[in-house]
Amino acid sequence: MPQGLALLIRAGNPLIAIETADEQRAREIVLQAGKECDRLTMEWSMTCGLKPIEAAGFTDLETLDNKPIAALEYIRDMGPGNAVYIFKDLAPHGKDAHLHRTIRDILPRMTEWNSTLILIESQPIPAELRRLTVQFEIGWPTFDELENVVKATFSKIRRNSKKEVIGNVTRREVEQIVQTLRGLSCEQAERVVAAAIYHDHCLTGNDIAKIVEAKRTLLGSAGCLEAIAVDLHIDDVAGLRALKGWLKQRRGGYTLEAREFGLEPPRGVLMLGVPGCGKSLCAKAVAADWGMPLLRLDPGVLYQKYIGESESQLRKALSQAEAMAPAILWIDEIEKAFASASESSSDGGLSKRMFGTLLSWMQDHRHPIFMIATANDVSALPPELMRKGRFDEVFFIDLPSRAVRLEVLAIHLRKRNRDPHKFDLSALADATEGFSGAELEQVIVSALFEAFSERAQLSNEHLVAAVCQTRPLATLAAERVQILRDWALDRCVDADGPTK
């Protein structure tokens, strides 16, 4: 990273801008670049004025007036050549005509002086200044930087803590912790790791879940992305043998070991199926099983009324997902967001443009993001979305078989503190042919309400009565469900089929 900045400095760019919230890391990168270019480094801020960095060996200059104009005029009239000048938070002053004119007077002479102005800004630079700058992206901390943060934080806490601090992590667990910290600044990563260590005065593989949750809380939600709390395990999802086996096989696909083996990280799956059969639940279970934050993209808030805003919303959402990587990006009912992209629409081509943006990102991004898209209406999906390369696989989630219905009923009874062995689940499984997983859950919920209203314990009679009162979707929309099943027969992998 410093090499890229050093190249811009050596090339004679007079004004370079770095927009970032991670000011400390940006400053360190500038200092390293200055040393690499053998330049004197000076720094200005509103609180300290302009002064040399002591490490540069130039310490006899007293702090100047803290007004930016005074610092710029010093550089113009007296400033030493062969220097890098760091200006912190100059953007709020960018609309000042006097300051703007002073900068324009200085810039043509910076190359002659072999000097560079570098702005480190935490907010967008005004257009008046942006036209004069070369933008430099410091990016997020690298794997090595974050690994050093983990090691340094652990060492510091062990050194300063009055209690014994135990470290019991394997190399792979350290790698998982570092991968989980991606998308955070070094300062944020240090706080998250410190909180995990102070929780029980040890650092183990069990802290990965705490770090994931802390990261989710720290970054929160913004724009079209919502960080979803995950409180279940993949074993809480009944059936889906082929899908679970496929996911288990690719669980370590984001590790350094996998990359060294020559594997590309898994890109994602498209899950088609009958509504209520566990597609959304599976997205949560994958995030829990892989120890990655779950981000849900809400298609409903993508579309805005002003021209260009909708595309901007999508780009911001994808950019945020990249910042939080490694992560699971979940687009629920994706056909609702891009339905008109597959047909002539009256939206002026907006859906097609947004769909093109998403497809390009899916094809080209190299961030550790596993995308799970769910859909109920396959006829509304553009065919380009389902080809290999966009997703690793397309699974069809059908209505549960008898064996899976038994498993679903048992899971939901246990969740409600009932012993499944005390009920005739075999008879219930026979009676619920065509029920989805969500409908089976509602059978138990309805039976519990009935028993509660009678002030009685839940019984088989309550469950049978609830089954009789339920009309499953497979009956209410039999034609549509059959069309979906027929379409998927030779086009998709059966999610509950035999594992390969």
- Strand 49-52: give its sheet, edge to edge: 49-52, 40-45, 83-88, 116-121, 15-19, 134-135
pLDDT at 55: 46
Per the CB < 8 A criterion, the answer to whether 409 and 444 are in contact is yes
pLDDT in tens, 201-236: 888 888 887 887 777 677 654 456 777 777 777 778
384 — pLDDT class (breaks 50, 70, 90): confident
pLDDT tens digits for 275-330? 888 888 888 888 878 878 788 887 666 665 555 566 667 777 787 787 777 788 98
Residue type for position 260: E
Residue pair 3/36 in contact by the 8 Å Cβ criterion: yes
- Going along the chain from its start, the domains and CATH numbers come out as 2-135 (3.40.50.300), 143-219 (1.10.8), 228-397 (3.40.50.300), 402-433+437-471 (1.10.8.60)
**How, if at all, do strands 294-297 and 225-228 pair?**
antiparallel
Distances (CA, A) of 270 to 204, 335, 371: 34, 11, 8
DSSP-derived letter for residue 388 is B
Q: Is this model's pTM higher than 0.75 or not?
A: no
On average, the pLDDT of the chain sits at 82
Q: What is the pLDDT of residue 223?
A: 52
